[in-house]
Structure 1
Amino acid sequence: MSDSMTTDVIVCTTCRPAGASRELPADGELLFEAVQTAQLDDDAGAWAQVRVRGVACLSSCGRACSVAFQAPGKYTFVFGDLKPDEETARHVLECGAMHARASDGMLQRNERPARLKSGIVARLPPWGVNPTG
């Protein structure tokens, strides 16, 4: 699979809501594990074009849990305020597959899975592209 057909789904593994106990696993780590498990359970290969990675911080601490979708030559999206559960994990993978299929990486709100219809932290244009509008 070429990189132009692959989207990286980056999950912040250190995300935790304000005031959450440091004695418990971070919500971000729980979401990362749920996304990895969901992808392993993908017998149909619907999410084969998605590469899941965990990172120690996406600097969206006020919007925990957060994930980013990025690929060369495409818009990058960062979402926050996600729940660290199985349904969110499936929606993250579905959105990653949408990003991989879109030639520019745009994720139209009305087409995104329910858990990702809101919560956008940032939308960044592809590097070196001067977007209009």
Structure 2
Amino acid sequence: MSDTEIIVCTTCRPPGASRELPAAGLALFEAVQDALLECELDTGLHKGLQVRGLACMSGCARACTVTLQAPGKFSYYFGDLIPDAETAAQVIACAQQHLHSDDGNLARNARPERLRSGILARLPPTGLSGLGST
């Protein structure tokens, strides 16, 4: 089983947000790091999850953004996320679903509430054919 990587845009700012204040994306990144550490301490369920921040994932109109990806699995790109501890916990829960899915598919109704909408992209695994292409 390949690790699922959680990538959080660290420069995301909601439209109209002041550039004088810290980026909301950075706040979300730090909250996800904290949630992953808490998960590690409480349950050990962090195994197989990696988190990293990335400056700009080009989702500026839909800040804050997060991607879930792993080799051989569908990748998901979410936007319009609230940069708080609840969203961070739900990102970790969704990443665990992705980790334990054979192909990375995340059914909408099975995803945590804050990741049921705001999906910006669902990308197929590289190198696989026959996934409904025309």
User: Which residue in 1 is equivalent to 2:34?
Assistant: 37
Q: How far is 1:47 from its partner?
A: 2.5
* Among 24, 34, 53, the residue aligned to 2:21: 24
User: Which residue in 2 is equivalent to 1:127?
Assistant: 126
Provide the C-alpha distance between the structure 2 equivalents of 1:68 and 1:30, rounded to a whole number of angstroms. 16
**1:88-127 paired onto structure 2 within 5 Å:** 88-127=87-126
Provide the C-alpha distance between the structure 2 equivalents of 1:31 and 1:106, rounded to a whole number of angstroms. 24
Provide the C-alpha distance between the structure 2 equivalents of 1:11 and 1:84, rounded to a whole number of angstroms. 11
Q: Percent of aligned positions with the same letter in both sequences?
A: 57
Provide the C-alpha distance between the structure 2 equivalents of 1:48 and 1:26, rounded to a whole number of angstroms. 28
- 1:74-113 C-alpha deviation (Å, 9 max, x unpaired): 0000000000000000000000110000010001001000
- 1:4-27 C-alpha deviation (Å, 9 max, x unpaired): 331000000000011100011101
TM-score (ref. length: structure 1): 0.94
Provide the C-alpha distance between the structure 2 equivalents of 1:48 and 1:87, rounded to a whole number of angstroms. 20
2:2–2:71 CA contact under 8 A, matched in 1: no
Q: How far is 1:132 from its partner?
A: 1.3
**1:62-73 paired onto structure 2 within 5 Å:** 62-73=61-72
Q: Which consecutive aligned stretches of 4+ in structure 1 deviate over 3 angstroms post-superposition?
A: none
TM-score (ref. length: structure 2): 0.94
For residue 12 of structure 2, give the secondary structure of its aligned residue in structure 1. coil
CA RMSD of aligned residues (A): 1.0
Provide the C-alpha distance between the structure 2 equivalents of 1:58 and 1:129, rounded to a whole number of angstroms. 24
Provide the C-alpha distance between the structure 2 equivalents of 1:63 and 1:50, rounded to a whole number of angstroms. 24
2:11–2:24 CA contact under 8 A, matched in 1: yes
Unpaired runs of at least 5, structure 1:
none
